[in-house]
Structure 1
Amino acid sequence: MCANINESAKMSKYAPSQERAYDIYKEARQKEPKTRLVTVLPTAEIEAIDEWGVPNGMESRTATIRYLLKFALEQKKAAGPNANQTPAASKQ
């Protein structure tokens, strides 16, 4: 029992209290609100996302998708008013 008390005393010196850890978590969530988006993609597209994300150092599939979406939106914005067409619409 003494070992457990000593271990918890050592841990409390370095780890934030449970209340402080909750406050840190709550602050992080408040900084950037998030909304869940569920989408269904063909397996080939998921494989292409994974094949691009892993070699480029993305930490997860979600991070890869976020990066690619942000990149595409920035490219459209930089292209100006003619960028309002979708790739499929520009082929027609």
Structure 2
Amino acid sequence: MAGCFFGEMSYVKSPASGVVKGIFVPKLNGQGATSDAIALLGALDACRYFLIESAIALFVAFLINVVVVVVSASVCTADNVSSANQ
């Protein structure tokens, strides 16, 4: 599943500068900003363990979360998507 999202990310060609800026300076707009923030908190909290077993595992989980958010954002902000489908 992660491989599919990495493939989709190369297909949607999101601007790398926007992705890096969003990682370090997050910003949420719109009516669904609160629910997006709660979902993001859940995605980040899911990576915390009682004992941190491996920094590599956490880094890979972070990369997968970034790719999923980038692909979802690219699809939801596309010009050819109707407001009913967003």
Fold conserved between structures, TM > 0.5: no
TM score, norm. by length of structure 1: 0.28
TM score, norm. by length of structure 2: 0.29
Higher CA-based Rg: 1
Structure with more helix by fraction: 1
Which gives a bigger RCO, structure 1 or 2 (Cα 8 Å, sep 6+)? 2
